[in-house]
Amino acid sequence: MAFCPVTTQRVDPHSQGSTGPELRVVRPRRAPPAEAARVTRAEVNLAHVRHNLRELQACLQADAEAGPRAQAAAVWCVLKADAYGHGAAAVATTLERAGVAGLCVALLEEGMELRNAGVSCPVLVMGGYWGRHRDGVEALLENNLTPVVYDEQQIETLAATARYLYSGQRRQVDVHLKIDTGMGRLGVREEQLGGVLGALRAAPELRVAGLMTHLACADAESLAETNEQLARFEHTTKLVRRAGFTPSLRHAANSAALLRTPRTHFDLVRPGIAVFGVHPCPASPGEAARIPNLKPVMRVLSEVVALRDLPAGEALGYGHAWRAERPSRIATLPMGYADGLSRALFNRGQVNGEQANRGQVLICGKRVPVVGNVSMDLTMVDVTDIPGVSVLDEVVVLGEQRGRLGEDAISADALAAWSDTVSWECLTSVSRRVPRFYRHP
């Protein structure tokens, strides 16, 4: 699906009955795959999304059977950042058909996108901010999205808007109260809890349906910090219930906690990266972490669009950061950092007497190194050691390739290691101008 830029239209103020011109935002969209002209593309395997959901549910079921829980925790998949770059609408509808209990997003706009795609299951908006004006709060409620709250102003604004929208109706809005147990970003801390609970008590339009926290170190080798956060969460739960609130859903576990620490499962879990086939952390020594058979969901491909032969000693790319140490054959592919191929994936040949190869791609089933600085739209690779490379040959940036010279795969973890970042960023960085093609289950 191709990229269309954001545009604005100036609205005639006289037709709006206002005193000045207003701007209406025309949101970006991706064109249907049939309209995409780019050879660079991302293939999203929705069957693997369903498979990964089943694998995570099996882990939860095994934990429930092995422990004191009456039933396995429900799964609410996290689809923020356009479903980690995979396309929120397609992934959400696939998960809903597969029976997911709920979905989580960060932004109001993300929740509205799911509703516009026909998703009807519960959608939790975790960011806690819905714009500067009341129309954002109205959109939140009118789209039946569940807000996360953590301060008095949010609660007062939600309650006032609910009174306005549901005047004369005996209707409550479900909210989830977020507790900061050590992440330090969002959530109410224990010393502020009294004021927030007081605001909730004064807002009969709202019902505390959920109590949640977020774990900062669930993927760390030591679980000491996670255990400390869980202890704070249990203590705060008692305070909330003592104040007369009866949340029916408690949740804390991200992908790492789901797989490593059954104590974090509570009533529901919020896996994100694992849904897309990336293991959130390795098993620690002596730890009985489950390693489910997760399948990568995204594959990023391009093609060779140009070939040239360089004599030894000739440089290429911005800043001439790479210089050929031998007669070299260089292939150009039409993908760059504007598409999500990190500029950190440069290779500069010999550094302090050693070959400093970082980024690699697959051609003909073999790895070849990125050479020089990655450009905005183009990247060069050294195919000197790959015989018979030609224009139009497939290039795999992320995922597996079976070619005439073998087969191999480049994982999101490998890209992250080369770029000195995390796999989450590698997936979400695949930009909107890279068309997505979906393989349906």
User: Catalytic amino acids?
Assistant: 80, 318
How is residue 222 written in tokens?
A: 């030591």
Q: How far from the centroid of its chain's Cα atoms is residue 269's Cα?
A: 16
How is residue 288 written in tokens?
A: 């009985």
Are the C-beta atoms of 212 and 178 separated by less than 8 Å? Answer: yes
Tell me how far apart the terminal alpha carbons of the chain are, to the nearest angstrom: 19
Burial 35-61 (b: 16+ CB within 10 A, else e): ebebbbbbbbbbebbbbbbebbbebbe
Q: What is the largest CA-CA distance in the chain?
A: 81
Pairing verdict, β 298-303 and 436-439: unpaired
Are the C-beta atoms of 46 and 275 separated by less than 8 Å? Answer: no
Burial 294-327 (b: 16+ CB within 10 A, else e): bebbbbbbbbbbeeeebeeeeebbeeeebbbeee
DSSP 152-177: HHHHHHHHHHHHHHTTT----EEEEE
Are the C-beta atoms of 76 and 269 separated by less than 8 Å? Answer: yes
Give the closest residue to 28 by CA, choosing from 426, 431, 411: 431
SS3 369: strand
How is residue 436 written in tokens?
A: 């997505």
